[in-house]
Amino acid sequence: MKRIAVLLVLLPASGLAESIAPRPMNTHIQNIISAVGPNWNSSGNFKALLIREGEFAALYIFRGPYDLAPLVYAPQAAITGEYWASIPWLEFDEGSALLLHSENRSHGRNKWENTLTIIERNNRFIVSAFTLSSYDSLNPDNYTDCTIDMLAQTMSVNNKPITPFPLPAEIEIKDWSEEIEAVCTTETGN
């Protein structure tokens, strides 16, 4: 019931924001993958939508319950697929961070899951953490467990610290890409 109420609140806003967004929003109900908000536990009080745009899910973040213009448009926030096993979703953590989860649990031999933690800092939405866990279902020795803490500028791959820190100090969610995520597999050679 809560998700239906959120969709009813967000759908009119997303349609009106169509003329304001950096790229037209594809707001057909079947293209909305996930919606959260507003987050009343946060001082930022924002809401977010994940909308399927081809093979990617675009993330739109709005301020407050009545703001109709998106603050953030991240065109390639997550990979989507034709299969239910690779549909991303959004949620809030106990504090005010937005979590963007993606996974592939059943399609092909390479299984993975990742989580982007997104926070608001100085009126910008930045990635504060990224975790990736992946494995080859036919070769269990071929795995990656990667944790990146952007705020502390630390990274570990398969429980080994990676130094120097290979990423910029701050990355806004609108600039996040698969190429940045690839630093996890580059460090392991997978």
- Distance separating alpha carbons of residues 138 and 96, to the nearest angstrom: 39
- The pLDDT tens digits of the residues spanning 85-144 come to 678 999 988 877 899 999 887 777 888 899 999 998 888 899 999 999 999 989 988 899
- The Cα–Cα gap between 144 and 153 comes to 19
Report d(CA 145, CA 159) in Å as an integer.
7
Q: Which helix (H) or strand (E) holds 4?
A: helix 2-16
pLDDT band at 19 (very low <50, low <70, confident <90, very high): very low
Range of the domain at 83: 2-188
How many Cα atoms occupy the beta-carbon half-sphere of 67 within 13 Å?
17
Number of domains in the chain: 1
- Contact indicator for 61, 44 with CB cutoff of 8 Å: no
- Confidence class of residue 27 from pLDDT cuts 50, 70 and 90? low
Q: Examine the pLDDT at 5 and tell me if it is beyond 60.
A: no
Q: Give the strands of the sheet with 72-79, arranged side by side.
A: 32-36, 46-53, 56-63, 72-79
pLDDT in tens, 95-111: 778 999 998 877 778 88
